[in-house]
Structure 1
Amino acid sequence: MKRRLFLPVLVAAATGLGIWAAEAPKEKPKPLRVLMVTGGCCHDYENQKRILAEGLSSRANVEFTIVHEGPDPKAKDARNHKVSIYEKDDWAKGYDLVLHNECFGAVDDVAFVERIAKPHFDGVPAVMLHCSTHSYRAAKTDEWRKALGQTSMSHEKNRDLLVKTVNAEHPVMQGFPKEWLNKADELYKNEKLWENFVPLAQAYGEETKKDHAVIWVNTYGKGNVFGTTLGHGNATMEDPVFLDLVARGLLWACGKLDDKGKPLPGYESQQK
């Protein structure tokens, strides 16, 4: 009798263990650690850092560390400030991505600028917003421009921009309109597009009489880069179309966006 009961007991025990293993809860992904570097000339960075941190956190599983430095944006030397965190070789250590929203175009220290670019070349993903494209343009090195994916030294007057999608299949552009009227922004002129630059959307230059890429992705060394020259004013920054776009770009750069433009499981916003 005992021998007849022994096998079913083992089977039941093994089945029970199998159920327990299958139902064991998976550990939730930790938030992506994002360093936001902001400050400099000509923009309302005090409010933009809040707009971006709140807007992106409501769209993706991210947590921000914010470094905001520099004189008053209207000061004569606002373009010259050297952000202190960049003085260290390992300034990006511990972060999953760096979001650059800065405007320091007059900084010309080559070693300093190349130190900013190096972690991205080594594999730290980046998001480049608006005047980050014009930052460090006085430096006689192309490393920051290669990290961006383009060289730009000037922009057209502030006006409404009709942004047209040119790569609707890319995951970052899923959900972005075929055409989007972006009011009161600046068109940055593309002077050179580097070899790994992939345009996603463009706008027409009234001065240059040609189209310029305003949304793109880039590969710099081992690093994925999402960039847009849009975002001069707070109205653009606050627009859900813009915030949705940047959230997708951030997740794409980190490898956490699926082919349909949705966050991978665990990387959607955890806010309730």
Structure 2
Amino acid sequence: MKAILLPLLALASAAVFVLAADPASAPPLKVLMITGGCCHDYENQKMILAEGLSARANVEFTIIHEEGPDGKKDKTHKISIYEKEDWAKGYDVVLHNECFGGVTDNEFINRIAKAHQDGVPGVMLHCSTHSYRAATTDEWRKCLGQTSMSHEKNRDLLVKNIAPEHPVMKGFPAEWLDKKDELYKNDKLWENFVPLAKAFGEDTQKDHYLIWVNTYGKGKVFGTTMGHGNETMSDPVFLDLVARGLLWSCGKLDDSGKPVAGYESKQK
């Protein structure tokens, strides 16, 4: 049965949708996708991700997409759901694909991170790593597993798989050309950061890790700084990777890199 898109709520600065799985299937993982902000085509990326991941795993998406006042992209905007203390309640995993690097409210940012510290799995894509970097708190950086404050120019990246035996990297090529993307610089790696792939930095003349997993408190986190453009987001290699990372963060990926029974895609 084909996935369907059901509008739940429309606000001046937010749009919330559920991409629902076949109701006759095993209960899907409930994924909250947070998206919006500066510098990226989030309008299309949210559907690329929701549709692509639904074709690879048994998931159901709730999507919250906010940009800023009057729908204009604003890196200082604070996503409204994060104002709630229990903002992640009811979800099995949160997928972050957001770009709000100008937010400086430490209490607000710590509240985002606390949901993951308390055990909600997280998937961190691209500019989520640069979100909240203007703030003084380190909790979001600890949640990510790394601190990054800048990236190199948009160019082709040769991605090297350095952990081929890790379930998340099973099926990922030994080397993969990520076309027209941005290499985020690793300024600091926190203690539970586990690197899975790297690419060479032309500016810094050293490698930077761009796929990883992390443990933050009780929460498992998968991250990649790839995904600036829709070409990368749409690539089957990228979508396969993110699907494995999402399932891994929820404990639903087996040692061979396949979904455990019941968490394969139910789409026909």
* 1:170 Cα offset (Å): 0.2
Residue 111 of structure 2 corresponds to residue 115 of structure 1: yes
Query: In structure 1, what is the Cα distance between the partners aligned to 2:224 and 2:128?
Result: 9
Aligned residues of 1:41 and 1:73 also touching (Cα < 8 A): no
Q: Which residue of 1 aligns with 2:55?
A: 58
* 1:74 Cα offset (Å): 10
Letter aligned with residue 208 of structure 1: T
Runs of 4+ in 1 over 4 A off after TM superposition: 72-75
TM-score by length of 1: 0.88
Query: In structure 2, what is the Cα distance between the partners aligned to 1:144 and 1:47?
Result: 26
RMSD: 1.5
Structure 1: tracts of 5 or more residues without a match: 1-26
Residue 138 of structure 2 corresponds to residue 142 of structure 1: yes
Q: Could you list the per-position Cα deviations for residues 15-48 of structure 1 after superposition, in whole angstroms to 9, with x for gaps in the alignment? A: xxxxxxxxxxxx9631000000000000000000
Query: In structure 1, what is the Cα distance between the partners aligned to 2:108 and 2:48?
Result: 29
* 1:78 Cα offset (Å): 1.1
Q: Which residue of 2 aligns with 1:102?
A: 98
Larger radius of gyration: 1
Letter aligned with residue 62 of structure 2: T
Q: Could you list the per-position Cα deviations for residues 211-259 of structure 1 after superposition, in whole angstroms to 9, with x for gaps in the alignment? A: 0000000000000000000000000000000000000000000000000
Q: Could you list the per-position Cα deviations for residues 182-226 of structure 1 after superposition, in whole angstroms to 9, with x for gaps in the alignment? A: 000000000000000000000000000000000000000000000
Aligned residues of 1:202 and 1:214 also touching (Cα < 8 A): yes
Query: In structure 2, what is the Cα distance between the partners aligned to 1:90 and 1:251?
Result: 23
Query: In structure 2, what is the Cα distance between the partners aligned to 1:40 and 1:50?
Result: 16
Aligned residues of 2:25 and 2:266 also touching (Cα < 8 A): no
Match of 1:82 among 78, 83, 87: 78
Match of 1:155 among 142, 151, 155: 151
Residue 67 of structure 2 corresponds to residue 70 of structure 1: yes
Residue 200 of structure 2 corresponds to residue 242 of structure 1: no
Query: In structure 2, what is the Cα distance between the partners aligned to 1:118 and 1:62?
Result: 23
* 1:105 Cα offset (Å): 0.1
Q: Which residue of 1 aligns with 2:34?
A: 37
- The alignment covers a number of residue pairs equal to 245
Query: In structure 1, what is the Cα distance between the partners aligned to 2:104 and 2:191?
Result: 24
Aligned residues of 2:66 and 2:79 also touching (Cα < 8 A): yes
Query: In structure 2, what is the Cα distance between the partners aligned to 1:72 and 1:182?
Result: 33
Q: Could you list the per-position Cα deviations for residues 148-173 of structure 1 after superposition, in whole angstroms to 9, with x for gaps in the alignment? A: 00000000000000000111110000
More helix by share: 1
Query: In structure 1, what is the Cα distance between the partners aligned to 2:55 and 2:233?
Result: 14
Q: Which residue of 1 aligns with 2:178?
A: 182
Structure 2: tracts of 5 or more residues without a match: 1-23
Structure 1 pair 224–48 and aligned structure 2 pair: CA distance change class (3 A): same
* 1:71 Cα offset (Å): 3.2
Letter aligned with residue 268 of structure 1: E
Query: In structure 1, what is the Cα distance between the partners aligned to 2:250 and 2:185?
Result: 27
